[in-house]
Amino acid sequence: MKAWKKIACLALTLSMTALAFGQKIQPAKVDNSLAAKIRRFAPTVLTANTSGLSPKDRQALLKVVAAAKL
């Protein structure tokens, strides 16, 4: 038998043996609360050079930023 087949068989045998002897793998506890989801994100300050925008584009950008804050 080739070496990789021997290794694969050994790994399979060891994992089946571990399951047979009752080693239970505990699933990770997941906190699905809203506070936990919010904690994943850090506040970030974004900046941009708006000097190249027209006055109408600046007004539109201000409205987009205001809507994003809501």
Asked whether the predicted pLDDT for residue 4 surpasses 70, the reply is yes
29 DSSP assignment: P
pLDDT for 59 equals 95
Q: Identify whether 54 is part of a domain.
A: yes
Position 66 in a domain = yes
What are the pLDDT digits (tens) for 16-66?
Answer: 777 667 656 666 677 778 888 888 888 888 888 999 999 999 999 999 989
Q: Give the pLDDT confidence score for residue 38 in this predicted structure.
A: 84
Say which amino acid occupies 30.
V
Q: How many domains does the structure of the chain reveal? A: 1
Q: Is residue 70 part of a domain?
A: yes
Band of residue 15 on the pLDDT scale cut at 50, 70, 90: confident
Evaluate whether residue 55 is within a structural domain.
yes
How many Å from the N-terminal Cα to the C-terminal Cα in the chain?
A: 65
Please report whether residue 37 resides in a domain: no
**Full residue range of the structural domain in which residue 50 is found:** 46-70
Instruction: List alpha helices for the chain, DSSP H.
Output: 3-20, 34-39, 55-69
Residue 53 located in a structural domain: yes
Can you give the pLDDT at residue 57? Answer: 95
